[in-house]
């Protein structure tokens, strides 16, 4: 028994298997066709890579993503034997906006990604479904579709541009009426170009974010320099007393500040304040407060009246942004050894005696910005020989270590009581308190600005 197997061939070439010459000719023709298709595909791959490398090199020179996209898509048309393209990108408000197309000067309206609408344009459907949308004479585009701008009876595809499952836009490529349909290889090339566009869009966004970050960082550095310049560079040393101040922001800029305003040869207005919050808003109000406090020299000897004036001026602005300011003002006449203090809800002034005793001075007053006509109480205090004064913000007592424990007011009072009996200058006391805070915090970051102002009598410090 003899069995014969016939190879299935097109009708025009179907022959009997018993005709070896004809079979070999058919196989040869098939092999040549396969080789031709492989060569065409390899050629397309080569052209695709060449276009990507060339456009990528141009992008590296100019960093212009629009020019790069136009050049890449123009090469795509040649490689896929297409006639037109349309490129849209997705904006933050979920709209597909026109970015580039094969028609110079064309401007298409943005397309909102509204899934509730019926009969969406092909580009919207591709974006929402994240799948290719094909159109041809048998399955044409609707008359109101924006892509009909490039031709009504042609054929083409809309490909969603995705990167890591994140939508960046859509790429539409089409051929005019009468042109052959896209081959599988050409469709793959469109996808390859779209993937490369997605990468470049992400890179461009990252570059823009990096530049913006550098600009913001630079602006914050300038703001920090300006705010630092507002702090007194050299503190006066009146009638044998020494002053030392410290201000460390939790962020680049902050809401804490201190100031020392000369009133006479023997008298100073001492100021320490803390604006609620941190960063730029707090820093802006701190600068405004400093200017307002210095703008009424006739009230320097009346801290309570000065706080009332500032509160009236700042109330509306602070209440609009729901912020407030705590402040402590002290008019000190070192020759008369007399101090008049007024507080706007701030931490108390600590007065240390040579025998180790401590008195906390905290006149009644609410923070600036709470009530438009808030009253402030004035307190008069005598300064005994050898006394020390400490003005501070709550960032000192609220300093935390790695375990989350607070420095606390109790620890601050213990430190102040110990140093009150010692003969030290204001600068030495500043270094001592900063050292205590750093040892307590260790490597833990500061959550709030830390500011203090120390007054000590130099005569008793040298003894």
Report yes or no on 7 lying in a domain. no
Reduced to 3 states, what is the DSSP secondary structure of residue 324? coil
Together in a domain, 406 and 334: yes
* Residue 118 belongs to domain with CATH number: 3.30.450.40
d(CA 391, CA 343): 11
pLDDT band at 173 (very low <50, low <70, confident <90, very high): very high
Q: What is the pLDDT of residue 461?
A: 54
Together in a domain, 203 and 236: no
Together in a domain, 294 and 352: yes
Together in a domain, 189 and 236: no
Structural tokens at position 114: 């509204």
Phi, psi of 345 (to 5 degrees): 65, 25
Together in a domain, 333 and 427: yes
Report yes or no on 361 lying in a domain. yes
What is the number of structural domains in the chain? 2
Q: What rounded mean pLDDT belongs to the chain?
A: 84
Together in a domain, 401 and 305: yes
Together in a domain, 305 and 428: yes
Alpha carbon distance, N-terminus to C-terminus of the chain: 129
Q: What is the pLDDT of residue 271?
A: 97
* pLDDT tens string 50-94: 544 454 545 444 567 788 788 888 888 888 889 999 999 999 889
Largest Cα–Cα distance in the chain?
135
pTM of the model: 0.62
Report yes or no on 143 lying in a domain. yes
* pLDDT tens string 351-394: 999 888 999 999 999 999 999 999 999 999 999 999 999 999 99
* pLDDT tens string 309-349: 999 999 999 999 999 999 999 999 999 999 999 999 999 99
Q: What is the pLDDT of residue 315?
A: 95
Report yes or no on 243 lying in a domain. yes
pLDDT at 197 over 90: no
Q: Name, in order, each residue with C-beta under 8 angstroms of 448's C-beta and a sequence gap of 6 or more.
A: 250, 278, 393, 394, 395, 398, 399
d(CA 21, CA 29): 12
Together in a domain, 191 and 281: no
| Last-in-domain residue among 207, 222, 249 | 207
Report yes or no on 2 lying in a domain. no
Together in a domain, 132 and 171: yes
351 in Cβ contact with 389 (< 8 Å): yes
Report yes or no on 378 lying in a domain. yes
Report yes or no on 222 lying in a domain. no
Together in a domain, 169 and 239: no
pLDDT at 288 over 50: yes
- Residue 258: name the closest of 280, 284, 237, 227 by CA: 227
Together in a domain, 345 and 266: yes
DSSP letter string, 158-225? EEEEEETTEEEEEEEEEE-TTSPPPPHHHHHHHHHHHHHHHHHHHHHHHHHHHHHHHHHHHHHHHHHH
Together in a domain, 426 and 330: yes
* pLDDT tens string 85-144: 999 999 988 999 999 999 988 888 999 987 565 678 999 999 999 999 999 999 999 888
Residue range(s) defining the domain that contains residue 245:
232-462
* Residue 322 belongs to domain with CATH number: 3.60.40.10
The radius of gyration of the chain's CA atoms, rounded to the nearest angstrom, is 39
What letter does residue 238 receive in the DSSP assignment? G
């Amino acid at each position: 028994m003899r069995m014969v197997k016939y190879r299935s061939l097109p009708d025009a070439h179907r022959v009997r298997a018993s005709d070896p010459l004809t079979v070999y000719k058919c196989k040869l023709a098939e092999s040549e066709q396969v080789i031709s298709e492989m060569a065409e595909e390899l050629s397309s791959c080569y052209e695709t890579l060449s276009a990507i490398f060339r456009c990528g090199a141009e992008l590296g020179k100019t960093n212009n993503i629009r020019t790069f996209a136009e050049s890449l898509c123009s090469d795509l048309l040649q490689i896929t034997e297409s006639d037109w393209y349309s490129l849209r990108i997705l904006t933050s408000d979920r709209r597909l906006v026109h970015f580039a197309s094969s028609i110079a000067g064309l401007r298409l309206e943005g397309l909102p990604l509204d899934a509730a609408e019926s009969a969406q344009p092909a580009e919207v459907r591709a974006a929402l479904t994240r799948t290719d949308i094909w159109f041809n004479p048998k399955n044409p585009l609707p008359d109101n579709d924006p892509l009909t701008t490039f031709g009504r009876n042609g054929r083409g595809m809309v490909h969603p541009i995705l990167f890591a499952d994140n939508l960046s836009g859509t790429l539409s490529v089409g051929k005019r009426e009468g042109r052959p349909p896209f081959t599988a290889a050409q469709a793959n090339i469109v996808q390859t170009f779209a993937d490369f566009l997605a990468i470049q869009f992400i890179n461009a966004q990252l570059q823009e974010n990096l530049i913006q970050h550098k600009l913001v960082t630079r602006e914050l550095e300038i703001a920090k320099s300006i705010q630092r310049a507002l702090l007194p560079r050299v503190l006066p040393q009146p009638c044998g007393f020494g002053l030392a101040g410290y201000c460390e922001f939790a962020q680049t800029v902050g809401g804490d500040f201190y100031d020392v305003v000369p009133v006479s040869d023997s008298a100073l207005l001492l100021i320490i304040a803390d604006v609620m919050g941190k960063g730029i808003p707090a820093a802006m109000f701190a600068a405004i407060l400093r200017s307002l406090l210095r703008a009424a020299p006739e009230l320097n000897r009346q801290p309570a009246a000065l706080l009332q004036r500032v509160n009236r001026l700042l109330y509306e602005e602070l209440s609009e942004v729901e912020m407030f300011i705590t402040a402590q003002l002290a008019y000190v006449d070192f020759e008369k050894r007399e101090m008049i203090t007024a507080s706007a809800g701030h931490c108390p002034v600590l007065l240390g005696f040579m025998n180790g005793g401590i008195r906390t001075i905290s006149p009644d007053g609410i923070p600036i910005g709470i009530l438009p006509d808030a009253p402030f109480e004035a307190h008069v205090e005598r300064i005994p020989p050898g006394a020390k004064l400490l003005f501070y913000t709550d960032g000192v007592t609220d300093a935390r270590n790695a375990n989350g424990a607070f420095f606390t007011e109790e620890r601050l009072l213990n430190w102040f009581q110990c140093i009150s009996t010692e003969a030290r200058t204001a600068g030495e006391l500043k270094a001592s308190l900063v050292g205590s805070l750093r040892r307590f915090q260790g490597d833990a970051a500061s959550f709030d600005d830390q500011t203090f102002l120390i007054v000590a009598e130099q005569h008793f410090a040298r003894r």
